Structure 1
Amino acid sequence: MKVFKKNSNIFNLLSEGVSEGIVVVNSKQLIVANNSSTEEIFGYEKDELVGKPLNILVPQTYHASHHGHFENFFENSGKRQMAAGKELYGLRKSGEEFPLEVGLNPFELYGNKYVMALIMDISSRKEQELKITELNTKLEEKIEKRTSELNTTIGKLTEEVKLREEAEKSAKEALKKERELNDLKTKFLSMVSHEFKTPLSSILTSTVLLSKYSSTEQQDKREKHINTIKNKVKYLDNILNDFLSVERLESGKVNYKFSRFPLSKLVNEVVYSANMLLKTGQQILYPRNIDEVTIEFDEKILELILSNLVHNAIKYSPENTEIDIKIAVRKKVLYIQVIDQGIGIPEEEQKYVFNRYFRAENALLVQGTGIGLNIVKAHLENLGGTINFKSKENVGTTFSIQVPFLNKPVAL
C-alpha cells in the first residue's frame, strides 16, 4: 500500500477519467488502490475500500471458489478475462448482488506482485438480454397459436421476426462495442503501467546508488546518476503532458495563441534539444535558407509538432544515420519534411499510424505511448494544416506537414 501512496497522484490522474471501476489488489487479496468509479459501483465512500479484503466485493456464496481462483491466477498470471464463459456477480455495500465483467491484468512494481482489475457493471445489458428472451418466447407462442391462421397473420409475424432480428443485432453490436472499449482501456492501462514502471525503477536505482558516492572524487559518478534521474523525470513529465493534451483536445479546451517569431529560433531550439538524444554517429541536417523567415503561428504548438517528428526519427533510426529536416514557405503555406533512415513502418500497418495508442509490430521494443502522432494530427487539423507520410520498412520514413500562414517564400 505504501507503493501506491507514493504514486497516488499518478494513479488518480490515470484512473479517474475511466468510467469503469479499477481495483488494484496485492498478493494477500487486500485492496491497495481503487478509483471513484469503483466506489460508485459498489456504494462505498471515498477511500473506504483501501486496506479491505477483496472478498467484501464478492457475494458470500462465491467466497470459497473465489479464493482458489485468485491463488491459481497468481501462480499462472497473465492478462485475461476473469471466469470467461461464466456469470460473475458483485456485492454492493447495501447487500445487493449485481452482474459484472472483470478483466485481470497482473503486474509487478518495486518487487511486489499486484493484480489490476477493470470492473464493468453489466446490469443494463443483462436486462436487455432478458427482454430479448421474453420477446423470443412471446414470438414462439404467437407462431404456435396462429399456425392455423397463417394466411391472415403473415404480415404481423414478418414484423415480429424483423423486430427480433433487429433486437438481436442491436444487442450483438452493443456487446461487441463494449468488448472493444474494454480491450482498448485494458491495453491503455497496461501500456501506462509499463511506461511508468521502467523509468521509476531507474530513478529508484540511481537514488540508491547516489548515497554510496560520498567522496569528492566521486562527483562524476554522482553527476551520472543525477542526469539519469533528470532524464527519467523529464520522460515521465512528457508522458503526462501527452495525456493532458489528449484530454484538452477531446474536450475542446485548447486555446491557440498566435504570435510572430523567427522560424530559425524555433528550429534551433528543437535541434538543440534533439541533439542530446542522438545515438552514436547520428546527425541532424539543418534546413537551409530559413534565417530571414518570420512566421505568424502558435509557436508552442509548432515546436511540439516538429519535436515529435524529429524525436521519432532519432528513436526509430539506427546509429550512424542522418535525420534530414527540410523547410520551405510558398504561397502563405509552411512546408516541413522530416526524413529518416530508420526501421520504417510495415505497409499493412500504415493505415493505423495516427490512431491513438497504436504501436507498429517492429516498434514494440522501443519506449513509447503511441499518442504523439495522434496529438500532432489533431492540432494540425484544428489549425487547417495537414500531415502525411511515406515509409518503407528497413529503408526509412518521410513525414510531411503543411501549415497555412503569412510569409515570404523559400526554396527547398
Structure 2
Amino acid sequence: MKQILLCLEPSNLRQAIAQWLQNHEYRLVEGTIDSASFDLCLIDRPSLDRDRVLILDRKRSAFELLPVLLVCDQLESIDLQGVDDVIKLPIDWLELQVRLTNLLQSRQYLQAFQAVERDRVDAEYESVFAALQGNHLGLQRLVESSVIGFVIANFQGQILDANDAFLALLGYTRSELRSGQVRWDVLTPPEYQERDRQIIEELRETSIFREYEKEMLHKNGDRVVIQTGGALLSEAEETVICFVLDVSDRKRIEDERQQALQQAQEVNSLRSRFVSLVTHEFRNPLNVISGTTQLLERYPDWSAERRADCFRRIQAAIARMLELLDDVLLISRAEAGKLNFAPAPVAIEAFCDQLVEEFKLGSGREHRLIFTVQGECGQPALDEKLLRLILSNLIANAIKYSPIGSTVTLELMGQPEAIAFRIRDSGIGIPIEDQPRLFEAFFRAQNVGTTPGTGLGLAIAKQAVELHGGSIAVESEANQGTTFTVRLPIATTPN
C-alpha cells in the first residue's frame, strides 16, 4: 500500500482528499516533510512556500525519487522548484488518480533500476577489493587478468607499470609503456584533471582513494569510460596502485535505461495531459448537451423559436466535440508520419485573402483583420489543405488571445526561394520560459488563464510546416503580443 504524506492546510479540501485516498487504498502517514517515510507528498501552496528548503534538502539527500504533487488554484507567480507535478483546483478525481499513478510508477521504475545497479556495482567492487586484500598468489592472478586493468603510477602522472588488460583497453603496447609514452595525466581529458589532483590529496591524507568514474583517451582518440580506485604503495616514492575497469558498455546500458525511463515518464506525462484534456474540454459541451436536453424535456410547450435555439446550442456543442476529436486524430496521424502531402500550384494571394475574409465573418468579426502582400508571390507548389491548417491555427490563436477591437495582421511575402507568412497580434503574448515547449502536443502557456483550448493547434501547424520542408518561428513576450513567421520553400518535395 503506497504511503501518502498530506502537507495541506486544515480545510474541507484536505478532508475530501484524505477520504478519497483512503477509499482508494492509499495509506496516510503522519509527520513532516523532513522526517516522515512516504512514497509521495501532496502539498498546497502555503506549505510549499514554508517547507521548500526542507523539500529540496530531502530530495538532495535521498537516494531515491520522492515525488511532490502541488495542489493549487492557479500557476501564475508560483515558484515550482522542488515540485514534480501540479493539479489545479477544483480537483478532478480521475485526473488526481492518473497523476498519482504516473508519479508513483516513475518512483518504482527508478527504485528498481537503482537496486539492480547497486547490486551489480557492489559485486564488482567486492571482488576487486577482496583480491587486493588477499594473498600474493591471488593478487598476482588478478593483476595478470585480462579483464581488470592494473596500473602503478606516481603523483607526477608517470605510469611505472601496467598489466596487459590496461594496455589493451587503451590501445598501447608494452614497448610504448617502457618508452614513457603512456602517462596517466596525458591520457586524462582536461575536465578530469582537477578531480585527479583531488585524488592525490586524498591519497596523501588517507592512503586510499575510493572508486570513481572518469574517461580516458584511447590511442586512436576515442574516449573510454572507466571506473578506478586504488591505494598508496609508497609514501616516500609517492606511488599508487590503481585498478581500472572498462565500464563503457555498462555506461551505455545505463544511459539507455535512463533514456527509456525518461521516455516512460514522457509517455505518462502525455497520458496525463490527454486525460486532463478530455476531462476538461469534453465536459463543457457535454454539460451543454445534457442541460439543454433536460430543459427540452421539462418544457415541452416552449415555442418553436426557443426550441430551435436549444437545438442550435446542442449542435454547436457537438461540433466542438467533433473538432476536438479531429484535432486529436490529426496530431496522432502527423506524429505517426501518416499525413498526406500533395503539393500543387496555389494562387496564394487569393487563398490568403479568402481565408482572412472567412475569419472576418466568423471568430474575427470583433477584431480588425488586415492582409498585406510584399513582393511577387505567383502560384507556388504547396499543399492547400496543410496550408489552411497552418494559417487557420495561427490566425485563430491570434484572435483568441487578443483583446476585442485589436488588430491582427497576416503578411504574405514573396522571396526568391520561398513564400513567407507573418501573423502579428497585440495580445497576451507568450512567456519566454514557455516558448521551448510551445509546439508540443497538449502544451499550453501558463498565462492563458481560462481561455479554452486544447494545446494542439501549434503542434499541428508545426507538423504541416515540416512536411513542406519549411520552418516556423515565434517572437513574443508576456503582454507584448506575438509574431509567428512561417517560411515554406517554393520548390517542395515531400519531407
Range into which the TM-score falls when normalised by the shorter chain: 0.5 to 0.7
- State the partner residue of 2:120: 135
Match of 2:289 in 1: 203
Q: Distance in 1 between matches of 2:302 and 2:421?
A: 48
C-alpha distance in 2, partners of 1:225/1:145? Answer: 82
Q: Give SS of 2:381's match.
A: strand
Aligned with 1:187: secondary structure?
A: helix
* 2:140 corresponds to 1:155: no
The structural deviation recorded for 1:371 is: 1.8
Counterpart-to-counterpart distance in 2, 1:358 and 1:350: 10
CA distance in 2, matches of 1:277, 1:131: 60
Q: Find 1:346's aligned residue among 423, 428, 431.
A: 431
1:234-253 equivalences in 2 (<5 Å): 234-253=319-338
In structure 2, relative to structure 1, the CA distance for the partners of 1:163 and 1:69 (3 Å cut) is farther
**1-structure distance, mates of 2:316, 2:390:** 21
Confirm or deny: 8 A CA contact 2:376 2:414 kept in the other structure. no
Task: Mark the CA change 1:321 to 1:332 in structure 2 (over 3 Å): closer, same or farther.
Answer: same
Q: Distance in 1 between matches of 2:361 and 2:489?
A: 31
Residue 392 of structure 1, aligned match among 474, 477, 488: 477
**Contact 2:359–2:365 (Cα < 8 Å) also in 1:** no
Segment of structure 1 superposing worse, 326-335 or 341-350: 326-335
Partner of residue 39, structure 2 = 84
Q: What does residue 355 of structure 1 align with?
A: 440
Q: Which amino acid aligns with 1:334?
A: I
Q: What's the counterpart of residue 70 of structure 1?
A: 24
Amino acid at match of 1:70: H
Structure 1 partner of 2:162:
none
Structure 1 residue matching 2:475: 3-state secondary structure: strand
- CA distance in 2 between counterparts of 1:345 and 1:403 reads 24
Name the CA distance, whole Å, in 1 between partners of 2:489 and 2:436.
25
Contact 1:107 1:116 survives alignment (8 Å): no
Q: How much identity, in percent, do the aligned residues show?
A: 27
SS in 1 for 2:385: helix
Deviates more, 1:284-293 or 1:140-149: 284-293
Deviation at 1:289, TM superposition (A): 8.3
> What do you get for the CA RMSD once the two structures are aligned?
4.4
Q: Which residue identity is paired with 1:84?
A: D
Q: Which residue of 2 aligns with 1:90?
A: none
Q: Find the aligned partners of 1:291 and 1:162 in 2 and give their Cα distance.
A: 60
Residues 2-401 of structure 1 aligned to structure 2 (within 5 Å): 68-70=22-24, 84=39, 116-117=97-98, 131-148=116-133, 153=143, 155=149, 158-160=243-245, 162=247, 166=251, 174-211=260-297, 214=300, 217=303, 219=305, 221-275=306-360, 277-278=362-363, 281-287=366-372, 294-331=379-416, 333-401=418-486
For the pair 1:402 / 2:387, whether they are aligned, the reply is no
Compare 371-380 and 249-258 and name the one that shifted more.
249-258
Letter in 2 for 1:341: S
SS where residue 282 of structure 2 aligns?
helix
Q: Which has the higher contact order (CA 8 A, sep 6+)?
A: 1
344-353 or 305-314: bigger deviation? 344-353
Deviations 1:255-277 (A, max 9, x none): 21233343355335533442355
Please state how far the C-alpha of 1:358 moved relative to its aligned partner: 1.9
Return closer, same or farther for 1:201/1:277 CA change in 2, 3 Å cut-off.
farther
- Larger CA Rg, structure 1 vs 2: 2
User: Does the CA-based 8 Å contact 1:263-1:290 persist in structure 2?
Assistant: no
Distance in 1, Cα, partners of 2:364 & 2:126: 74
What are the Cα deviations for residues 206-260 of structure 1, in whole angstroms up to 9, with x where unaligned?
33334456568550x3343333333332222222222222222222222212333
Q: Which sits farther off after the overlay, 115-124 or 197-206?
A: 115-124
Change over 3 Å in CA distance of 1:334–1:136 after alignment to 2? closer
Deviation of 1:345 (Å): 0.8
In 2 relative to 1, CA 276–135 (structure 1 residues): closer, same or farther, beyond 3 Å?
A: same
Within 2, Cα distance between the matches of 1:300 and 1:265? 15
Unaligned runs of 5+ in 1: 1-65, 75-82, 87-102, 407-412
CA contact (8 A) 2:382 2:468 kept: no
